[in-house]
Amino acid sequence: MPARIIDGRALAAALNAETAHRIEAGRFHPGLAVVLVGDDPASAIYVRNKDRAARAVGIEARTIRLPADTSETALLARIAALNADPVIDGILVQLPLPPQIRPQAVIEAIDPAKDVDGLSPVNAGRLFMGRPFLVPCTPLGVMKLLAAADVSVSGARALVIGRSNLVGRPLAALLTAADATVTVAHSRTRDLAAECRRAEILVAAAGRPELVRGDWIASEAVVIDVGIHRQKGGGLVGDVAFAEALPVAASITPVPGGVGPMTTACLLENTLTAALARRGHPGKG
């Protein structure tokens, strides 16, 4: 029996509807600033999609486009102004940044209360200490996909391929907090295929097209594909060889239409979380 397809688009639509409803009930419009430096075409598309999706749920989105030769000092000054701006609840600086700007310096300059990407040291530290506030959007989306697919994470053997601050590291923390037994694999892992074959939950976030082959996947494994790569012919593929994995896995996320829409939906939810916390709403914070 082929794998069940985990529909990220449908789940993202449901989460966006919930976020829109909560914003309407709150009677205020959270403010989100998305900063794009330079003209990387993929980043431009991501930023436009985030802006559109934010407006659709009632978030006041503002995209700030800066030239590719913007200095680090100038970008830090923009961030300081956004930190101080009372109508801005969330700040996202699209990565990657041009080479003259150190991403860590920028991430560390964002007020943790407005850090809707969850990448600042304060939010990363809180996640690792088991007291999460704003959690990185892609790993949060992966956890919601697992929950929606009724995957029992507790006690499961989970493999995360990739150790980036954006995905692999925070996802390993979330899976650990959900009581999975977590292995983090990376470019120096010996015999990645063998690690994959042991995994009951396999998350591929390596950034390498079709790295994970069908015969690396255990039957009955749940496969979450975080990768997205444009092929020469124009099609999109993930980090998993989808056609090979489909007959083997129990369930799998497609590319596109799996993790991607959930990343955006979680950004919008994080923006609302930040807005509520800044208004003294009890709960997270």
Q: Binding residues for ligand GUN, per CB under 6 A?
A: 92-95, 117, 137-138, 166, 263
Contact yes or no for 192/208 (Cβ under 8 A): no
Q: How far is the CB of 48 from ligand GUN (least distance, A)?
A: 13
Q: Indicate the residue among 26 and 207 with the shorter CB distance to ligand GUN.
A: 207
Q: How far is the CB of 214 from ligand GUN (least distance, A)?
A: 27
Q: Indicate the residue among 166 and 248 with the shorter CB distance to ligand GUN.
A: 166
**Residue 94 is among the residues annotated as catalytic for this protein:** yes
β partners of residue 127: none
Q: How far is the CB of 213 from ligand GUN (least distance, A)?
A: 25
Omega into 2 within 30° of 0, i.e. cis? no
Please identify which of the residues 117, 144, 225, 239 carries the catalytic annotation.
Answer: 117
Q: Indicate the residue among 214 and 256 with the shorter CB distance to ligand GUN.
A: 256
Q: How far is the CB of 182 from ligand GUN (least distance, A)?
A: 21
Contact yes or no for 32/90 (Cβ under 8 A): yes
CA-to-CA dists, residue 5 to 160, 162, 207, 257, 284, angstroms? 20, 23, 21, 10, 32
Q: Indicate the residue among 251 and 264 with the shorter CB distance to ligand GUN.
A: 264
Return the active site residues.
50, 94, 117
